[in-house]
Amino acid sequence: MAKPRDDKRPATTQPQLARAVIAHVTYPKVMAEGNYAGVVVVTFRIAEDSRVSQVTVHTANRKLNDELTGQLLGKKIQVPDLHPDDVCTVRLRFRH
């Protein structure tokens, strides 16, 4: 069983992580078609090769979940101080 890490992620890491994720995301087609806007929470891990893995999109809309997962899965994200055991959480705000 892995031990939890005791150190805290530096405050600068979260904004860098959000910017890195946003660079790979476009406005989801399913949201545009329904004229929806809002915040979507996404959790994932960064693998040893700096690629996004284990993506979970936290909505009840399966099409939206699949679309955002497809946009992020396997993309390279380089943010200092991230470790493969870290679960990353990003809030994506979509506006019309």
pLDDT at 67 over 60: yes
Rounded Cα–Cα distance for residues 88 and 2 (Å):
17
Q: Please, what is the end-to-end C-alpha distance for the chain in angstroms?
A: 45
Q: Is the pTM of this model over 0.85?
A: no
Q: Which two tokens stand for residue 33?
A: 């078609």
Taking the domains of the chain in order of start, what are their residue ranges? Answer: 28-94
The one-letter code for the residue type at 31 is M
User: Residue 12 has what pLDDT?
Assistant: 58
Instruction: Summarize the confidence of residues 33-62 as an average pLDDT.
Output: 94
Name the residue with higher pLDDT: 22 or 36: 22
Q: Quote the tokens at residue 91.
A: 């809030």
Q: Which two tokens stand for residue 61?
A: 């809309």
Judged on CB neighbours under 10 Å (0-12, 13-18, 19+), 85 is: exposed
Looking at residues 54-76, what average pLDDT do you find? 97
